Amino acid sequence: MAHNLHGIITGFTYLGDLPNVKLAEGYHLIALSSPEQDNAPEAPIPPFEALSKATTSVIRRLSMLGKCAYIETAYFGGIGTQTSAIWEDGAQIEGPMISYDGVEPTTESRHFTVVDGAVNHVLKHLGVHRSEDMDEFDSVGLGQYRSNRKVLQASGH
């Protein structure tokens, strides 16, 4: 089963107009359109597949309200990658981080840090508490959103 998601997770209650869903513990996932859906897509910022300068600007503004993380997942059949970074007070404070699960690294790691569980790492930093039998990803409810399309549908967009 595929899991292909990219978006912003807020460490606070988000009340804005961007398409979002409420996750557990008061966190929110803001879904972003795919670069292929944009009329004039910006080139992504490596090692990310979808993070653009425009999205980074949105994250900077949001992070003035509280910690935010940007995440990307690209999995099929349990094999794939996840990438993340953390912003606070308008600045990127950690990342990019990337995890490879069952695939070989595709780029040199001089511009990012290879970690186990890049998404769980930022979720911990945001304060997500894992349950006894689930990691942070599933504890906050990200497992129920396997694509941005699912988030957009759930948010009514």
**Other Cβ atoms closer than 10 A to 10:** 24
pLDDT score of 36? 46
pLDDT of 62 higher than 90? yes
For 98-146, the pLDDT digits (tens) are 999 887 776 666 678 888 999 999 999 999 998 889 999 999 999 888 8
Question: Structural domain tally of the chain?
Answer: 1
pLDDT of 92 higher than 70? yes
Residues 148, 66: Cα–Cα separation, whole Å: 23
> Once rounded to an integer, what is the mean pLDDT over residues 75-81?
89
Q: How far is CA 1 from CA 11, 74, 99, 146, 147, in A?
A: 28, 11, 19, 9, 11
Helix/strand/coil for 104: coil
Domain of 15? 2-155
Provide the whole-model pTM: 0.90
146: tokens are 């396997």
